[in-house]
Each structure stands twice: as structure tokens, then as C-alpha cells.
Amino acid sequence: MLPYLHILIRVEDDGSLHALGAFTSKEKQLAYQKDSGLKDSQVRLDFYNGPFDEDISVIYAGHRRWNMDLFQLGGYFKSEGEAWTWVTQEGYVSVLRIDTTYEEEKALQQDALERYAKLQRRWRLATYEELVSREGADKARANIKLRFYEDALESFKPKTRRDLRALYAFAILILCLPLAIFYFLSRGPEYGENVDSVGWLPSYTSDISYYRSKQVQVFEFKVSSTDFKRWAESRGMSVRRLVNKEIISRYKAYIPTPSSQSSAPATPGGVLTVEQFESWQDDISAKVEQGLIAESPLKDIAIYDNQTKKAYYEYLINF
């Protein structure tokens, strides 16, 4: 059994993250990076915890769009279907073959693009150039490569008149894409660090850091234990003394990378030490041993740390 897989990630200048491959050893990951010509500053090393069977051949990486042209990793998955449940259609899923080489990936990508070019006219599909213009090069290539790997692009084939009508309807939807993008951006996540006050927290709180979206509500703030209890109870939460050590996610686990190092840092040679990994874990989560804990029927949780005099709140909606 394999305890974990090494994941090689390309880091764009704008902060976007794109998973390139999954490897059973650090040596194979470094060989891929060397052949690709990527510098240490252009990559990031991550881990996908197992255990995995020795004969595992592929996993899938989900990429979420969090701004118009920027992508963040949404996680790693053992099946394509599981990946799509965590990634909206605004994002994309890429196939990561285990212990692949850079040359093998280039060949697979080339085969996929060549077959798509042959089928594009026959099936009245959008041209590759149109896909790149509409979705970006990384998403367009990943989608074609995924479908080529899974079913040789057969899932792109319109089989009935209804399918053709669906394609025409899809083309109309594409024309409305600018409005959809505007709507999406207007309802995007909000985040901030070390803010004095916000409208959705009482005036007796301070030093507020947060990430809030339709799916995730994570924030922390300075407050006294008495006021923490008052605030939690006003939200219908039941407060009790903390008995066991609790670990809770911090806003840094979600805030976009350009504003905060929310992913494991790249290091010379692409090798992450145990100390660096533990430091990163400490940065994106809080461990509280003494204090208060508050919970509600909504499954949200708030923890007060007696030592730091800070409250930490986490609510994952529909997760």
C-alpha cells in the first residue's frame, strides 16, 4: 500500500494553480519537473493522503475558478465523478496518471488535440481556438485530454437531433457568458485580514480576519470570553467548556494565494521538510486546548482560545 502520492503543481504569475502529475516517489516527481523545464519558483509540491493500492493508475484533480482567469485547486479524487461534485462547471477536472513522464503527457495531449481537430467539423463542435478564447488554454486542454483519456472524445458526439438542438442552445448560452461572469463576480467570496470592524460582527470584536462565500464561512477575531459566550448564544449556539483539544480551519486555508500563502510553500529542489509541512498546517488551522466551544444545529462551530483571547468560527454550507 502507498501512504500518499506526491503532487506536482504549476504556479502561474497571477497565483493560479494547475496540477501537473501524481507520483509515488519524490524522485519521479523531480524527474518530471526537470524534463518540463520548470524552475523551483514555478512549482509547488503537495500531497494526496492514502492509503492507495500499489497498482493505482490514475487520480483526478479538481480546479475551481475563483476569479475571471484564476484557478485554485479544489482537491484530489479517486474518480472523475467525485471530482465534479466538488468543482463547478466554471472550473475543470484534470486527469493525473500515476508516475507519468513529461514526454508521455506531451504525447497524450498531442493525440487528444489531433483527434479533436478531426472530429470538430464532423460533429460541429467549437474549434480548439474558440475553446481557448472562451475558457482559457489550461481548462480547454484539460477538458479535451480528460475526455480523450476516458472515452476517446465519444462523449462529445451529438447522437440525435435533440443533441444538436442542445448544442445550439449551448451556443446561445455562451453569448450570455459576459452577463453570467458579471453575476458570478458580483457574488464572489469576500475576505480580509486584521480588520478593525465589520458590519456582521458586534462592536466589541476587533482584529478580524475572514473568508466568506456562499459555501464557506470562516473567520476569527479578538474578544473576551464573556463577550464570546454572549455572541455565540445570540446565534442560537450552545456553549460549553472545552474538554479535549480541538482543531479548526482558519481563513488562510481558503483565502486566495496572492494575498496569503494558503498552500504548502515551494522549496529549493521541490522537497518539503517535515518542519515546513507542520508550519504550513499550523498556519491554516488553529489548535485550541483550553477555552470554550460553541455549536448549533446548523453544524457550525466556534472555539474560544483562552491563551490567545481569540475566537475561531467555521461553517461549511452544504458540504
pLDDT of 165: 62
Describe the crossing of helices 161-175 and 177-186 by its angle, rounded to 10 degrees. Answer: 60
Contact between 249 and 316 (Cβ < 8 Å): no
Instruction: Tell me what the pLDDT averaged over the chain comes to.
Output: 84
pLDDT of 302: 96
pLDDT of 313: 96
pLDDT of 227: 96
Q: What is the pTM of this model?
A: 0.49
Cell of 100: 507519468
pLDDT of 260: 43
DSSP assignment of the chain equals -EEEEEEEEEE-TTS-EEEEEEESSHHHHHHHHHHHT--GGGEEEEEEEEEE-TT--EEEEEEEEEETTEEEEEEEESSHHHHHHHS-TTSEEEEEEBT--HHHHHHHHHHHHHHHHHHHHHTTPPPHHHHHHHH-HHHHHHHHHHHHHHHTTGGG---SHHHHHHHHHHHHHHHTHHHHHHHHHHT--EEEEEES--TTS-TT-EEEEEEE-SSEEEEEEE--HHHHHHHHHHTT-EEEE--S-EEEE-GGGTS-TTTS--SPPP-GGGPPPHHHHHHHHHHHEEEESSEEEEE-TT--EEEEETTTTEEEEEEETT-
Nearest to 288 by CA among 297, 273, 275, 301: 301
pLDDT of 158: 59
Per-10-residue mean pLDDT for the chain, 319 residues long?
92 86 94 94 92 92 76 86 79 91 92 85 82 84 84 63 60 68 63 93 95 91 96 94 91 70 51 70 88 92 95 84
C-alpha–C-alpha distance, residues 201 and 239, integer Å: 18
pLDDT of 20: 92
C-alpha–C-alpha distance, residues 310 and 166, integer Å: 53
pLDDT of 234: 94
Classify the C-alpha dihedral 91-95-99-104 as positive or negative. negative
C-alpha–C-alpha distance, residues 231 and 234, integer Å: 5
CB-side neighbour CA atoms (13 Å) of 39: 4
pLDDT of 220: 97
C-alpha–C-alpha distance, residues 17 and 72, integer Å: 5
How does pLDDT run across 284-304, given as a tens digit for each residue? 889 999 999 999 998 899 999
Cell of 65: 475558478
Classify the C-alpha dihedral 236-241-243-246 as positive or negative. positive
pLDDT of 21: 93
- Annotated domain spans of the chain: 2-157, 160-184, 190-316
pLDDT of 262: 45
Q: In what order do the strands lie in the sheet with 92-97?
A: 70-77, 58-67, 92-97
DSSP assignment of 179-221 equals HHHHHHHHT--EEEEEES--TTS-TT-EEEEEEE-SSEEEEEE
